[in-house]
Structures are given as C-alpha cells and as structure tokens.
C-alpha cells in the first residue's frame, strides 16, 4: 500500500516531469529531419579529426545551393543538410570537402518535400489511431466492470497515461536534439509507436488484475475498499513489470553502446520511454483510478 498511500507525491512528480518535457518542446522544439521536411542529408566522417564547422561551411559555400546546414555528428563526423540535390551537386559537395581532408561518406539521404509532408501526416494519424483503438478495446474488455469506475473510465485513464508516456520521451529528445544537433526522423516515430504498445501492455496487466479482484469480490461478497483492491493488484504485478522493464533496458543499453549510430537515437528514446512507462504503470495509472472513483461517487 506504499504507492497508494503516497500517490500524491507520485502525481506531483508526474506533473514536474510533464512540465519539464512540455517546456523543452516549447523552448527548443523538435527539429524535423528530411523524412518530414524533404531535402538531402549527407553524413561524412573525418577519420583524422573533424575541421571547424565554419571552415566546412566556407568550403561548401562556393557551390550555389542556397541555405546549407552543417552540424557536428558523433565525434569526428558532420551532417550536411540542404535542399534536394541532384547527383552532380552531391558529388560536387563531397569532392569539395574531401579536397583538404580525408573523408568517408557514411550516408546520403534525399527525400522530396511532398513525400516528407505525407509522411508527417501519416505519422500523426498513426499515433491517434493507435490511441483510439486502445480506448475502444479497453472499454470493451472492461464492459462488465462498471463500479466504482465505468468501463470507459479505464480507457480514458490509459490514454491520459499514454499521452504522458510519449510526451516525456519527446521532451527528452527535444533537449537531446538541442545539445547534440540530432533531428527527428522516421525512427523517432517508430519509437513512439513501439512505446505505445509496450506501455499499454504494462498498464493493462495491472488493470486486468484489478478487474479480476473486483469480479471475485462481487462474486463471493467480500467487502473491500477500492484502494485496497488497487494496492493489492499493484503488489501482485509489480515484480513482473520491473523484471520486464529490466530485460528491455538491458537490450536497449546494448543497442546504444554496441549498435549502429543510425539506431542509437531510437534506442535512447525507447530507453527513456520504457523507464517512464514502467513508472507510469506502477505509480500513476492504477492510483489515478482512486480520485476518478471518488469523483464518480460524488456524481
């Protein structure tokens, strides 16, 4: 019952995390990569040490390309972002920066503006569609549990928690992008969708145990407060949630330290999301049902 008795503290902690995440997004924003905006991106490594970014910018400036963004990438690499390039312009850029230093091209990506806009719209629709299906599923699964919280109340609670579970990693990534020069790409959206599936599974495990206890209590006529039912359900599922999270965290840490640079940002977002999701399922989601139940009792 420790979590239930101290739920006010966990609610305040949630508020601080959410405020920090929203603040990071509003102040620094989420810089969209070419997957969303269109354009071309060249990632180049300097094995013998990266020159000053201003020098690289001056080298590229001799080519009539319009606005060009040059950012540090990793320890000795850079990321060059421009409008959509032709093959000749791409070759000219690489030849220019390779003339005065040893370089290796790591990746070259080119996306048209129409395709980038279409991808952004589909990504948003995918996130909203997943949340809507989750609400409908939980309302259906809990249709026989109407007291003290109606079935749709469980679904609404899950959606609120899932919104927090993706806003906090998004806020973390906004700060990460600000300090490292990273950008939001398609893998970021994949990470958010994966987190929605992971977090809702963790929450439903606890909610399903609550449903089982409520049904059993009604069947045998056991008088038990809703707070006791929730506390017991959390205690019975806590070990499972923590062990599951630890195994996922170990895999993500291995991906961060030993995986390819292209998947490192994805793994970082997932790592933060898994930590927040586990905290959410244990300390926020089920305890939030208590004030909701009290509100319905007053109604």
What pLDDT is recorded for position 70? 84
What pLDDT is recorded for position 153? 80
Cis peptide before 148 (omega within 30 of 0): yes
What pLDDT is recorded for position 113? 57
What pLDDT is recorded for position 146? 61
What pLDDT is recorded for position 175? 94
Query: What tokens were used for 9?
Result: 């503290």
Stated pTM of the model: 0.79
Residue 160: CB atoms within 10 A of its CB come to 15
Q: Degrees (nearest 5) of the Cα angle 9, 153, 17?
A: 30
pLDDT tens over the chain, length 299 residues: 678 888 889 899 999 999 999 999 999 998 887 777 778 888 899 988 888 888 888 888 888 887 788 888 777 888 888 888 888 888 898 888 888 888 888 888 877 655 556 766 777 787 788 778 877 777 777 777 667 777 778 888 888 888 899 999 999 999 998 888 788 887 888 898 889 888 888 888 888 888 888 888 878 877 888 888 898 999 999 998 999 999 999 999 999 988 877 788 899 999 999 999 999 888 888 888 888 888 877 76
Of 35, 40, 137, which Cα lies nearest the Cα of 83? 40
- Inter-residue contact 75 to 261 (CB < 8 Å): no
- Inter-residue contact 42 to 90 (CB < 8 Å): yes
What is the residue-wise DSSP string for 210-264? HHHHHHHHHHHT----HHHHHHHHHHHHHHHHHHHHHHHHHHHHHHHHHS-GGGH
CA distances from 261 to 70, 75, 103, 208 (A): 18, 11, 17, 39
């Amino acid at each position: 019952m420790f979590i239930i008795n101290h739920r006010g503290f966990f609610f305040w902690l949630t508020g601080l995390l959410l405020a920090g995440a929203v603040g990071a997004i509003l102040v620094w924003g989420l810089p969209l990569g070419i997957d969303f905006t269109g354009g071309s991106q060249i990632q180049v490594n300097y094995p013998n040490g990266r020159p000053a970014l201003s020098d690289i910018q001056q080298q590229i400036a001799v080519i009539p390309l319009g606005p060009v963004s040059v950012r540090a990438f990793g320890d000795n690499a850079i990321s060059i972002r421009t409008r959509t390039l032709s093959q000749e312009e791409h070759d000219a850029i690489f030849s220019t920066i390779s003339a005065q230093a040893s370089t290796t091209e790591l990746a070259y990506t080119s996306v048209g503006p129409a395709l980038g806009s279409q991808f952004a719209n589909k990504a948003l629709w995918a996130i909203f569609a997943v949340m809507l299906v989750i609400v409908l599923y939980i309302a259906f699964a809990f249709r026989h549990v109407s007291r003290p919280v109606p079935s749709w109340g469980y679904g609404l609670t899950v959606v609120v928690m899932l919104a927090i579970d993706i806003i906090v990693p998004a806020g973390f990534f906004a700060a990460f992008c600000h300090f490292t020069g990273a950008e939001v790409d398609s893998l970021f959206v994949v990470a958010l969708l994966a987190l929605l599936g992971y977090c809702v599974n963790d929450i439903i495990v606890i909610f399903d145990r609550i449903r089982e206890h409520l049904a059993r209590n009604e069947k045998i006529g056991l008088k038990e407060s809703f707070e006791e039912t929730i506390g017991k359900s959390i205690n019975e599922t806590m070990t499972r949630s923590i062990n599951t999270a630890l195994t996922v965290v170990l895999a993500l840490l291995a991906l961060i330290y030993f995986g390819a640079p292209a998947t490192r940002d994805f793994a970082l977002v997932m790592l933060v999301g898994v930590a927040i999701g586990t905290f959410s399922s244990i300390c926020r989601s089920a305890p939030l049902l208590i004030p909701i139940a009290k509100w319905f009792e007053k109604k």
